[in-house]
Amino acid sequence: KKTFRIVVLPGDGIGPEVVAEAVRVLETVSAASSDVELKLETYDFGGCAVDKYGIALTEETLQACQQADAILMGAIGGPKWGVNAKVRPEQGLLSLRKALGLYANIRPANFASESLLAHSPLKPAIAQGVNIIVVRELIGGAYFGTRKELGVSPDEDAAWDTMTYSVSEVQRITRVAAQIALAADPPLPIHSVDKANVLASSRLWRKVATETLQNEYPQLKLDHQLVDSASMIIVANPKKLNGVILTENLFGDILSDESSVIPGSLGLLPSASLAGAPSVANYAELTFKTTPGLYEPIHGSAPDIAGQGIANPIGTILSAAMLLRYSLGMDKPAKAIEEAVRKVLDSRDIGGEGLRTADLGGSHKTKDIGDKVVEILKATLMRWLVFWS
């Protein structure tokens, strides 16, 4: 039996609540598999680690992550460790991404079920068929450039952050966007988003993205959008951006939250943060097995609803599916999880109303969703076992 080590970082706020459901999903896959065992180990990370150890990312947690096959995270941060705190949980997340070299952040914003159309803030005719995958550069740009905080002396009146990109940083994220585009059939177009009419780093971005795609992936369609207009198109006519949005760290942070609400709720959307070069043997089964990937919903710790058991766990459950697909090469169970989620949301498949948490206007609890996903998944995996034996 092949054993995979998965480090679990529940974090703060609703993090532990949503992670608990995704953990049950992974345990279900592990229990049903005859050739793979998933070993899950939980570590402190984020605000809870700040409270215990004075720092968000301890050496122990970092080492466990470095030695893992993959990492499943909930969310970190909250008002208790606010923007003016000396030690902020968010610093820990940035350090972890940097230490693991997780330069590629994949954030798909598509409808997990057609039945979610009614929950989109956009008119159904505009939202229907939206299928955007944001590929966000994750360890460069303004997040990691030279920075100066406002000093304590009263005559200081400036603080700054610098947005820096190198040619090789843009090349590698462009290649990931290209592999993601090619994993779809037919291949997706790439929309590179920048602010090349103002920023030098964006002019480098546009040049390198264009050259990399022209030289290495001439079969892919590429266009360029300025970030202000792209953010307008996402709410006015998002299907125009169907395909892969390739963009830098800060723009990607903003545009991925913006796109995420089109399919109904921030709580629904997963993400993968990946390092190393993607394997290109078979685009349809794209994997990143060489270094541990980190998988988390795109939302935060949602302090306004934490502790009530009402958070939507679907973004985290779908992150577990991405984990199986990209880090463990287990595409089939990943698809089974996605299918189970669709059934849970889609009333037609389970008879009567689909399950909905409060963010989608329903009254189902976090655990109700987890229960139902596990039940449907178990049935699918059992069918496979019977079929195989």
> Could you list the active site residues?
143, 195, 228, 253, 257
User: Is residue 137 a contact residue for Mn ion (CB under 5 A)?
Assistant: no
- As measured in angstroms, the least distance from the Cβ of 376 to ligand IPM is 29
d(CA 26, CA 39): 10
CB nearer ligand NAD, residue 134 or residue 305: 305
Cα dihedral 314, 27, 350, 132 sign: positive
Grouping H, G, I as helix, E, B as strand and the rest as coil, residue 211 is helix
Residue with structure tokens 């703060």?
12
- Return the one option of ligand IPM, Mn ion, ligand NAD, none that residue 273 interacts with (CB less than 5 to 8 A, by type): none
| Partner from ligand NAD, Mn ion, ligand IPM, none contacting 311, C-beta within 5 to 8 A by type | ligand NAD
Binding site for ligand IPM (CB under 6 A): 77, 90, 93-94, 253, 298
Q: How far apart are CA 131 and CA 244, in angstroms?
A: 9
Residues 197, 203, 207, 209: is their CA dihedral positive or negative? Answer: negative
What radius of gyration do the chain's Cα atoms show? Answer: 21
CB of 203 to ligand NAD, least distance (A): 29
- What's the helix, strand, coil split of the chain in %, to 5? 50, 15, 35
Task: Calculate the CA dihedral of residues 270, 273, 274, 279 and round it to 10 degrees.
Answer: 20
Shortest-Cβ-distance residue relative to ligand NAD: 300
Query: Closer CB to ligand NAD, residue 7 or residue 14?
Result: 14
Applying CB under 6 A, the residues found at the interface with ligand NAD are 14, 18, 75-78, 90, 93, 266-267, 296, 299-305, 311-312, 315, 359
Angle separating helix axes 249-260 and 227-236, nearest 10 degrees: 10
CA distances 225 to 166, 245, 248, Å, are: 20, 9, 13
Strand partners, 135: 106, 246
Residue nearest to ligand IPM (CB): 90
CB of 302 to ligand NAD, least distance (A): 4
Name which of ligand IPM, ligand NAD, Mn ion, none residue 189 binds, using a CB cut-off of 5 to 8 Å depending on partner kind: none
Q: Is the distance from CB of 101 to CB of 277 less than 8 angstroms?
A: no
**Cβ at position 365, least distance to ligand NAD in Å:** 11
User: What angle is formed at CA 324 by the lines to CA 283 and CA 301, rounded to 5 degrees?
Assistant: 115
**Helix count and strand count (H, E) for the chain:** 13, 12
Shortest CA distance to 20 belongs to which of 292, 368, 381, 367? Answer: 367
The minimum distance between CB 93 and ligand IPM, in angstroms, equals 5
Terminal Cα-to-Cα distance of the chain (whole angstroms): 17
List 17, 253, 359, 368, residue binding Mn ion (CB under 5 A): 253
- The answer to whether 347 touches 353, Cβ cutoff 8 Å, is yes
Which residues contribute to the site for Mn ion (CB under 5 A)? Answer: 253
